[in-house]
């Protein structure tokens, strides 16, 4: 077997097992938190504003990226690593759980079309289960933790206030464990992780864990959902 073929096989295996083998589904909130955010701006001719960035971690980045790619006003969503100490980490580094990094997604969005609070609502209601500590569904380890990496003080306040509000309202049976930290650096993941759901819609992990998230997004946020 040639070196190229061996490398291709290795990448395929890593991609297949990288986010774990599906065994359970995320728990559901007791209250529909989709109503906690204001409805989308329905002004068809809303003028574009300067693009902003948000970074979220909620388990395997394949599904989180796919959810945000289908949100109106999001111009780009990229899988990567954030929250750790190792510079320029690779997938195997992060998967060891020793770097402090979490699988994360950098979301670029137009605030004239979708607000940061709306992104928070999508994150907490359909993208992942924020009550699972250092895991997400079948995936275990700090690299799969729930986290928000804020870009500025405004995002920090919005995120912490939002978490306090849903904890106070007892939306979930247990408290939110989402980490809220300043973004130090975002390292983009390898090319084979980008747009993984779009390129591998029949992957068993994607079918079981991530396709339901897109269905939930479409159902809960019809004004925000885009194909």
Q: How far apart, in whole angstroms, are the C-alpha atoms of residue 31 and residue 167?
A: 11
Burial per residue of 100-118, b for 16 or more beta-carbon CB atoms within 10 angstroms, e otherwise: ebbbbbbbebbbebbbbeb
- pLDDT at position 47 over 80: no
Instruction: Identify which of 129, 117, 25 has the alpha carbon closest to the alpha carbon of residue 71.
Output: 117
- pLDDT at position 8 over 60: no
Residue 39 structure tokens: 């409805």
Q: What are phi and psi of 186, to 5 degrees?
A: -120, 125
Local confidence band at 6 (pLDDT 50, 70, 90 cut-offs): very low
Which listed residue (60, 102, 107, 159) is catalytic? 60
| DSSP letter assigned to residue 217 | H
Torsion, Cα of 97, 153, 41, 64 (10° steps): 0
pLDDT over 90 percentage in the chain:
77
Q: For residue 60, indicate whether it is catalytic.
A: yes
Q: Which residues pair with 150 in a beta bridge?
A: 182
Q: How far apart, in whole angstroms, are the C-alpha atoms of residue 122 and residue 71?
A: 9
Which range, of 34-48, 61-75, 140-154, averages the lowest pLDDT? Answer: 34-48
Q: What is the mean pLDDT of residues 150-169?
A: 95
What confidence score (pLDDT) does residue 33 get?
Answer: 63
Contacts of 98 (CB under 8 A, 6+ apart): none
CB 72 within 8 A of CB 226: yes
In SS3 terms, 112-126 reads as CCCCHHHHHHHHHHH
CB-count exposure of residue 21 (10 Å: 0-12, 13-18, 19+)? exposed
Tens digits of residue pLDDT in 60-112: 999 999 999 999 999 999 999 999 999 999 999 999 999 999 999 999 999 99
Tens digits of residue pLDDT in 16-39: 445 643 333 344 555 556 555 554
**Measured CA distances, 65 to 3, 43, 103, 140, 204 (Å):** 31, 26, 10, 19, 17
């Amino acid at each position: 077997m040639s070196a190229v073929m061996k490398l291709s096989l290795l990448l395929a295996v890593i991609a297949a097992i990288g986010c774990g083998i599906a065994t359970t589904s995320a728990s559901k909130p007791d209250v529909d938190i989709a109503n906690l955010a204001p409805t989308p701006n329905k002004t068809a001719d809303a003028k574009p504003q300067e693009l902003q960035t948000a970074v979220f971690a909620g388990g395997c980045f394949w599904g989180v990226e796919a959810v945000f790619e289908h949100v109106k006003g999001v111009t780009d969503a990229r899988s990567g690593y954030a929250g750790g100490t190792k510079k320029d980490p690779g997938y195997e580094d992060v998967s060891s759980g020793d770097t402090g990094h979490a699988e994360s997604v950098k979301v670029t969005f137009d605030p004239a079309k979708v607000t940061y609070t709306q992104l928070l609502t999508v994150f907490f209601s359909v993208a992942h289960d924020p009550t699972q500590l250092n895991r997400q569904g079948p995936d275990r380890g700090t690299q799969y933790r729930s986290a928000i990496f804020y870009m500025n003080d405004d995002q920090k306040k919005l995120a912490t206030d939002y978490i306090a509000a849903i904890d106070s309202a007892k939306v979930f049976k247990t408290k939110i464990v989402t980490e809220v930290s300043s973004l130090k650096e975002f390292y983009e993941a390898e090319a084979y992780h980008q747009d993984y759901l779009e390129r591998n819609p029949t992957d068993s992990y994607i079918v079981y864990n991530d396709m339901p998230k897109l269905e939930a997004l479409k159902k809960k946020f019809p004004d925000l959902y885009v194909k």
